Structure 1
Amino acid sequence: MNYDDIINMKHPTSINHPRMSMNNRAAQFAPFAALKTHVDKISEAGRLTTQKRILDEDQRQVLNRVLNNLLINKKEHLSIMIDYFVEDEYKEGGSYVTVRGQFKDIDEINKRVILLDKTTILIDDIYHISILKD
């Protein structure tokens, strides 16, 4: 193929439509960002959360006994496992998380359990706590 006959011809220009600017031409090839947002919303809606369980009186008493036992023996830094509720940042509800660590103390002013690694857990969010055998 030989393009010698058209290589020096002037680019055709429409009589009916003005020439598009470089920015407008480039915008035609940009990704459609709204689609990504839509996909994010669909996956967020599909993500499951659970409601916080309310402890009954018996469960509260058991929790208080364990916390008192931990306070009495706090110098031993007992190994514990705590199941607690974490509120979701984006939608109603949350999820339950289990953490293992060594008990350090209870912050009675802020009502938090403090672990040796400086993790703090709000006592009102604790569903279950157990002392582990080493």
Structure 2
Amino acid sequence: MSYDDIIHMKHPTSPHHPRMSMNNRAAQFAPFAALKTHVDKISEAGRLTTQKRILDEDQRQILNRVLSDLLIHKKEYPFITVDYFVEDEYKEGGSYMTVRGQFKDIDEINKRVILLDKTTIPIDDIYHISNSLCKAD
């Protein structure tokens, strides 16, 4: 299809109405952006979160014993598996994550477990930890 007959014509301009600014032209499409926000809110409302589980005294003692064993054997960089709670940024609650890696140390000031790959996990958020030295079940 050839447009030779119109390609060099001047753009039509109304003698009665001024040209619309780019901002006003863009504003014509703003209602579609509102629909996207509404869909996002519906998706967010449907996303489930979990409440943080509180360790009882026995579970806390087991966790402390495992952390002490890890400190004793830290030069061996034992492999560990940690289940811990991650607070949700937008809603009440959060979710549980599992991370596997080699134990490096404990940051006692900030109360965090440090893995060899520099991952850090807040000790207060740990629900369960097991390692290659012993199991904490």
The normalised TM-score by structure 2 is 0.78
| TM superposition shift of 1:68 | 0.6
Q: Distance in 2 between matches of 1:27 and 1:55?
A: 54
Closer, same or farther in 2 for the Cα pair 1:67/1:27, shift >3 Å? closer
1:92 correspondence with 2:89? no
Match of residue 26 from structure 1:
25
Percent identical pairs in the alignment equals 76
SS in structure 2 at match of 1:22 = coil
Amino acid at match of 1:98: T
* Cα separation, 1, equivalents of 2:128 and 2:14: 77
Unaligned runs of 5+ in 1: 1-10
Give the corresponding residue for 2:128.
128
Deviation at 1:20, TM superposition (A): 7.0
The one-letter amino acid of 1:22's match is M
CA drift of 1:132 comes to: 3.2
- Change in Cα spacing, 1:19 to 1:96, as seen in structure 2 (3 Å) is same
1:67 counterpart = 2:67: yes
CA distance in 2, matches of 1:110, 1:28: 49
What is the CA RMSD across the aligned residues, in angstroms? 2.3
**Equivalences for 1:1-134 in 2 at 5 Å?**
19=17, 21-23=19-21, 26-27=25-26, 29-32=28-31, 33-132=33-132
Unaligned segments of structure 2, at least 5 residues = 1-12
Number of equivalent positions: 119
Answer with 1 or 2: which has the greater Rg: 1
Amino acid at match of 1:30: F
Q: Matched residue of 2:48: which SS?
A: coil
Q: From the superposition, tell whether residues 25 and 87 of structure 1 become closer, same or farther in structure 2 (CA, over 3 Å).
A: closer
TM-score, scaled relative to structure 1: 0.79
